[in-house]
Each structure stands twice: as C-alpha cells, then as structure tokens.
Amino acid sequence: MKALETRQTIVAAADKLIYERGFEFTSFADIAQVVGISRGNFYYHFKTKDEILDAVIERRILDRAKMLDDWVEAGQSPKHCIANFIRILLMNNQKIRAYGCPIGTLFSELAKLNHPAVSGARDLYDLFRIWLVRRFAEMGRSEDADALAMHILARSQGAASLANAYPQEPFLEQEVKQMLAWLDAVADGATIET
Amino acid sequence: MKALETRQTIVAAADKLIYERGFEFTSFADIAQVVGISRGNFYYHFKTKDEILDAVIERRILDRAKMLDDWVEAGQSPKHCIANFIRILLMNNQKIRAYGCPIGTLFSELAKLNHPAVSGARDLYDLFRIWLVRRFAEMGRSEDADALAMHILARSQGAASLANAYPQEPFLEQEVKQMLAWLDAVADGATIET
DNA sequence: GACTCGATAGGACATTTGTCCTAAAAGTTG
DNA sequence: CAACTTTTAGGACAAATGTCCTATCGAGTC
C-alpha cells in the first residue's frame, strides 16, 4: 500500500481513538491493532507519538474548516451559518453524549499535560472563533462580534460538557433551542452586557 | 504520625496533583514525592490507585457541600446564593485559567477512560445541580427550576473551558457579568425557552 | 527494659509504553 | 529476471508504573 494511504488510515484511526479514549490513554498498540499493521511499522510513518497527535489535530482543523467554508460558499446568510454552527451539537448528539466535545476535551487534556500541541488545539478553537466573528460582523455587529462569538462558543462548550455528564437527559436539545432564540434576539439588535 | 493524618495529607496532595495534571498522569511516585513519604508506604493507606481517586472525589464533594451549605445557613437570599455560585468562577479565576474547572475536567477525563469513579464525578455535578434547583425553587421558579439550574451549570462549564483556552483574555469576567444579568432577569420573572 | 502493633521505607516484580533496529516482503524500474 | 527502493513485521530495549512483600522504626504498654 502507498505510504500516504497508510498514513491517512493511521491518522483516521488515531483521530477516532484519541477522541474516544483521550490522547494519553491511546497507545501505539491500540492504533496498530485497529489499523491492522505492526507496532514497529509506526515509526516508518511517524517518528514520535507527538507527530501523530499533530497530524490528528491538523486533520480535525482541515475537516472543520471545510465544513465551515461549505456553509459560507453555499450562499447561506450569516445568521443561518451561525445557526448551523449551533446545530453541530445536534448533529453529533450521540458522540457528544458519549465522549464530549472533540475540541474541548482534547484541549483540556493537552492543557493539563502541558503538552506542546496545546497550541494546535487552540488553533481549533480559533478556527471557530474567527469564523464566528466574521459571521457576526456580516450581521452588522462588528463592534461586539468577538464577544458574541466567544459567548456562543462558551455556551456550546458548556452544553457539550453537561450532555456528556447527563447523556440520558434531553438537555442538549433544550440548550440548542435557547441558543437559537438568543441568536434571533441578537439578529434583532439585542445588546450583550460587557 | 497518625494514619488518618497521613491519609488526609495524601488525599490533599493527590487532589491538587490530579487537578493540575489529570488523574492518569498523576503517578504514585509524584504524590509520594510531594507528601514526602515512600512509594511503598502508599499501600498501607490505599490498596489501589482507584481508592485514592475515590477519596479525592469524596474530599471535593465534602468541600463543595460545605461551601454551599455555608451560604444558605448564613441566611443569604436564594438569588444571592446563586450569584455566589456564579462568582465561584471569579474566586478561582487563576486556577481555572491554568487548569480548567476541577469538576468538569475530572469528569471529562474519567468519562473517556470509562472509569468506574465517573459516577462519583457525576455526584459532584449533582451536588451543584440539586442545590441550584432548591435555590431557584425558593425564588418561586419551582416548575422550571431544573432547567434553570442546568442552564447556569452549563454556562459555568463553558466559561471555564474557554477561560482555560484563552487564559490571557478577560473573558471570564465578561461572562460572569452576563450570567449575573441573566439571573436578574430570571428573578424578574423572565421565561426560559424549553 | 522487653513486647506489641501501627506506620514506614525500600526494593522486587510484572506489565505497559514509547522508541529503535534489522531483516524480510512488496512494489517499481531497468 | 535483476537491481533497487519503499513498506512492513517482529522483536529488543529502557523507562515508567501499579502492585506487592518484607524488614525496620517508633510509640505506647506491661
């Protein structure tokens, strides 16, 4: 098999495992078993475990960036784009209940480990943050666009955390409804306390 | 030294380390070094590592329960009590920026590890949830007390997550202000979308 | 002072993990 | 087919970790 293919297969498997089990608890042996290659073969594709982490983060960034860009290029209104962002929580409902937010939980773990790749995880946050700021600015809220973006980011993170803690309750759906109502209010010119 | 003293010293050190580094990344050797006892001596006080985790969770529950009860017993109004809860974020500002929320990050990690003690971590959430429900009920919001409690819990979690991701920005203060404003609105009878 | 028992120290042990090395297999090119 | 490169398998190795065992220390008691 081509090296690039194998590499991508490894990254995909590592992405899934790191999401489900966390980075520190995902070993080379685990990934190798899922991919179906020998443990020793890893070091042909990745020199260190951190390299796999970097590749996984890059993969997540590219994946999310594409999703966000698709919404914009589909010609949807800024408000509709932000609503789509909020509804990500519903799209990934089951996984969030089981494993939490793929971005938040990764950042949290890397921050605790003082891991160098924490900056990459922050890039993931920045990707959404900057995208949201642009959408709010397009809605005519240039002055407080960043505050609005951070607010909705935080609420998404919080909703994901509690949905993870109480997976059997319909909490996520309620919170999404409230966030969409908040978005309506913002679109109607509601102010935000600063 | 008395066994109970040593045990409490160990639990206190483990609590701090587990908060700062995470459970899986805190080894017996780390805790032993901080406490100043030999690694082998651990197994006189705790038979397994999981026992230390249980003790740490119990310690956090007792600690938080005492704090919450103190507010109620001081005769503060329900609204004031909830405001105190919101301001926990400011009290622990620096630690939250550095390590995230002690409850949220612990739960997140244990959930990923499928660790049995995850139920204990959920008890920590429940402690705040039930306490908040009582306060909202005392404010005359019996019907939607749980929804209000979950909402403010989620926002606190989200605020802590983002403060951890952007520790150098004054985000936490802004979010606390918004949450207090929300509390004012709720006290004035504002409805919450369900 | 001798004895008892709770508390501690230090090390042994098996397991896991990240890392590295070497040889074989698979694929490509002449 | 032959020479060469790319890719893979399997194991070796050191370090770290959770666990367990045994000898020793120290305070209280007779």
Model pLDDT for residues B115-149, shown as the tens digit of each residue: 999 999 999 999 999 999 999 999 999 999 999 99
Q: Residue A40's pLDDT band (boundaries 50, 70, 90)?
A: confident
Question: Residue holding tokens 């589909």?
Answer: A74
Say if residue A63 is in the same domain as residue A27: no
Nucleotide nearest to B41 (CA to C1'): C8
Question: Which 92-121 residues of chain B approach strand D with CB closer than 7 Å?
Answer: none
Is the residue at A194 inside a domain? no
Say if residue A88 is in the same domain as residue A25: no
Say if residue A38 is in the same domain as residue A66: no
The runs of H, that is alpha helices, within chain B are 3-21, 28-35, 42-45, 49-73, 78-91, 93-99, 102-113, 118-138, 145-165, 171-187
Residue B72's CATH number: 1.10.357.10
Cα–Cα distance, B107 to A178 (Å, whole number): 25
Is the residue at A131 inside a domain? yes
**Domain region containing A170:** 58-187
First to last CA, chain B: 56
φ/ψ of residue B140, rounded to 5: 90, 20
Distance from CA of B150 to the nearest CA of A (A): 8
Q: What pLDDT score was predicted for residue B1?
A: 61
Give the dihedral sign, CA A46/B30/B91/A172. positive
Q: What pLDDT score was predicted for residue B40?
A: 83
Q: Do A38 and A32 meet the contact criterion of CB atoms below 8 Å apart?
A: yes
Say if residue A15 is in the same domain as residue A68: no
Cα–Cα distance, B61 to B59 (Å, whole number): 5
Checking if the pLDDT of A194 tops 50, the result is no
Say if residue A93 is in the same domain as residue A183: yes
Say if residue B41 is in the same domain as residue B93: no
Question: Residue holding tokens 């194998």?
Answer: A6
CA of A1 to C1' of D10 (A): 19
Say if residue B70 is in the same domain as residue B149: yes
DSSP-assigned letter for residue B69: H
**Widest CA span in chain B:** 59
Q: Do A135 and A148 meet the contact criterion of CB atoms below 8 Å apart?
A: no
Query: Percentage of chain B with pLDDT > 90?
Result: 89
Say if residue A28 is in the same domain as residue A116: no
Q: What is the mean pLDDT of chain B?
A: 95
Please check whether strand D approaches the CB of B50 to within 7 Å: yes
Q: Residue B189's pLDDT band (boundaries 50, 70, 90)?
A: confident
Cα–Cα distance, B135 to B153 (Å, whole number): 13
Say if residue B155 is in the same domain as residue B97: yes
Say if residue A134 is in the same domain as residue A182: yes
Is the residue at A192 inside a domain? no
Provide the number of structural domains found in chain A.
Answer: 2
Cα–Cα distance, B169 to B101 (Å, whole number): 17
B80, burial (CB in 10 Å: exposed 0-12, middle 13-18, buried 19+): middle
Cα–Cα distance, A88 to B69 (Å, whole number): 38
Q: Residue B35's pLDDT band (boundaries 50, 70, 90)?
A: very high
How many other β-carbons are positioned within 10 Å of the β-carbon of residue B122?
18
Inter-chain CB proximity A24 and B25 less than 8 Å = yes
A85 versus B190: the higher-pLDDT residue is: A85
Is the residue at B53 inside a domain? no
